[in-house]
Amino acid sequence: MTTRTLLLLLALLSPLVFAQDDRDLILDGLEFGDDIAEMQMEDAGQGDEKRFEVVTDEDISTLAVDDIYKNNGSFFKVVEIASKGSEGGKFTVSRIRGSFDPAQSWSRVSGHGPLLIQSRETLIDRFLNGGPLMWPLALLLLLTIIVAVQGFIYYRPRKHCPEEFIASARKAIDKGDLDRFEELALKGEGLLAHAARALMVRFEESTLDEMGARAQAAARRHVARMRFPVRLLGFVAVVAPLLGLLGTVLGLIISFDSIGGGASDAGKAVTMAIGIKVALMTTAFGLIVAVPALFFAFVFNHKLRLLVTDCEVATDELLHDIGRLRRRAGESAEAPPDEPVPATT
């Protein structure tokens, strides 16, 4: 056989040889991928068998018990399926390797289920993933809601400056029935009632200026107590972002510690992602608490200013009526008695 014929045969057989080599490479790659998964499971460490419930809207009709999925650097085995179908379902997994809690993305390691599953993340899940500082932020949010509800009930004109009280008090003063006016002031509640009670202190021996000064001092003391909800909301608006900032710092510390640790690159990436998530969650929830608190503080402070203005006007009217009553009493006292008519014979 000549050299020319040998070269022709080699040229014809070379595609088959290289195709076989390519198939070997592909098979070797698949085997190498399985080895990587086993190595990752060994590096993840023994799991604690903690169970997690997964809810998804994706097609999991092929999911089966004992399927193994990887999530957030840990490995989980499907132990129970509550419901499954083309429109999603709910199943329970057990953490068999690793120590990290699951995130939303699930990738199949072995079994018959879907290659990728995206779980549904609720607000509670986001809250729990935010770290320990989410609990004091939750308490501040609850405090904001309680103070806001009470504030709308407390800062009402009907409570602090009722028109019925003003009309009854002015009517009693016009009639000269100061006992009735004092009774109304003692029974009343709110800012105007406190100022009215101060008007009746040492009534007989006080001038109008002294009565007005006492009413103003009593009103200032009561307004200082009325400002407590506004100050409390201002406190929440300041502290909540600071707690969020503290969570951001702690999350960054977790991320930087993962870079300098001796874990594998995959473990470092997972720990860094967890740290960044803690940082972002606490910052977001801190602002979620602070913004409504600041808004309600502004609203209640404005309502308080209006109440103070209305009560000042009403107190001036009552003081003016008392002054007019005193002038009438003085004129009656200074008027000369009627002279008797002489008898005629």
Q: Which of 134, 144, 139 is nearest to 230 (CA)?
A: 144
Q: Which of 39, 188, 37 is nearest to 110 (CA)?
A: 37
Residue 60 has a pLDDT of 92
Report pLDDT digits (tens) over 308-344: 999 999 999 998 988 888 888 776 655 555 555 454 4
Q: In what order do the strands lie in the sheet with 51-56?
A: 51-56, 89-97, 74-83, 68-71, 105-110, 116-118
Q: Kindly list the distances between the CA atom of residue 197 and the CA atoms of 182, 184, 185, 188, 315, in Å, as whole numbers in the listed order.
A: 7, 9, 5, 9, 11
Cβ-contact 228, 236 below 8 angstroms: no
Tokens of 120: 């549904």
Q: Strands 51-56 and 105-110, how do they pair?
A: unpaired
Report pLDDT digits (tens) over 227-286: 999 999 999 999 999 999 888 888 777 777 666 555 555 555 656 666 677 778 888 899
Residue 167 has a pLDDT of 92
- Please state the pTM of the whole predicted model: 0.68
156, 159, 162, 166 alpha-carbon torsion, rounded to 10°: -140
pLDDT average, residue stretch 39-55: 83
Beta strands in the chain, from DSSP E residues, in sequence order: 51-56, 68-71, 74-83, 89-97, 105-110, 116-118
pLDDT of 22 > 70? The answer is: no
Burial class (CB in 10 A: 0-12, 13-18, 19+), 125: middle
The mean of the pLDDT values for the chain is: 81
pLDDT of 123 > 60? The answer is: yes
pLDDT of 290 > 70? The answer is: yes
pLDDT of 47 > 80? The answer is: yes
Cβ-contact 140, 285 below 8 angstroms: no
Q: Which is higher by pLDDT, 201 or 301?
A: 301
Cβ-contact 230, 301 below 8 angstroms: yes
Residue 281 has a pLDDT of 84
Residue 26 has a pLDDT of 31
Cβ-contact 282, 130 below 8 angstroms: yes
pLDDT average, residue stretch 57-64: 90
pLDDT of 68 > 60? The answer is: yes
Report pLDDT digits (tens) over 139-154: 999 999 999 999 999 9
